[in-house]
């Protein structure tokens, strides 16, 4: 049976990206369970950021990863319950909560680095198989949409089409 995404085409790129992201997360979670890791696949970027930036605020983590403050706070709360991180109120700014790894979190971070290395190898094999470094392609796409956001591009296209219609009607 044909995949509806193929029928929809590139205008529904978000559908395909979301499905790929869900597959990666599901496989990551299953692999983490097999390796004994505690963190969910969706929290590993937060854990890794905190491992590399000890004492970062939740806002700093959110900004660095492009996540919402609420999503990072939720991940931190879950990891705090699992004794992977601890939070504290920033002495410099009482409105900020900082995040640090516990000893268990430090062990988990080392394990996450090893898992990320293995994932990079597997992704590299897939990229070679499909003939596209998808990571680099998506980063290039991200940079292009940073330079000229999708909304602006869509509105420019609307304006150009409207101008062509007006010109054709005159």
pLDDT digits (tens, 9 = 90+) for 124-145: 999 999 999 999 999 999 999 9
pLDDT digits (tens, 9 = 90+) for 34-63: 888 887 777 899 999 999 999 999 999 999
The angle, 0 to 180 degrees and rounded to 10, between the axes of the packed helices 69-81 and 58-65 is 120
pLDDT digits (tens, 9 = 90+) for 64-88: 999 999 999 999 999 999 999 999 9
Rounded distance between C-alpha atoms, residue 39 and residue 37, angstroms: 6
Q: Does domain 4-131 have CATH number 3.30.2080.10?
A: no
- pTM of the model as a whole: 0.82
Rounded distance between C-alpha atoms, residue 43 and residue 39, angstroms: 6
Contact 84, 39 (CB under 8 A): yes
């Amino acid at each position: 049976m044909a995949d509806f995404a193929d029928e929809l085409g590139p205008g529904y790129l978000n559908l395909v990206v979301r499905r790929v992201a869900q597959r990666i997360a599901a496989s990551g979670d299953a692999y983490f369970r097999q390796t004994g890791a505690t963190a969910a696949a969706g929290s590993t970027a937060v854990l890794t950021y905190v491992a590399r930036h000890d004492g970062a605020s939740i806002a700093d983590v959110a900004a660095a990863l492009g996540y919402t403050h609420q999503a990072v706070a939720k991940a931190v709360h879950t990891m705090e319950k699992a004794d992977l991180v601890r939070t504290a109120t920033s002495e410099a700014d009482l409105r900020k909560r900082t995040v640090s790894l516990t000893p268990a979190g430090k062990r988990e971070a080392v394990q996450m680095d090893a898992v990320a290395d293995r994932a990079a190898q597997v992704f590299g094999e897939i990229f070679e198989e499909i003939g596209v470094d998808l990571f680099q392609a998506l980063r290039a796409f991200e940079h292009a949409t940073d330079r000229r956001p999708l909304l602006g591009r869509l509105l420019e296209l609307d304006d150009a089409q409207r101008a062509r219609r007006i010109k054709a009607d005159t």
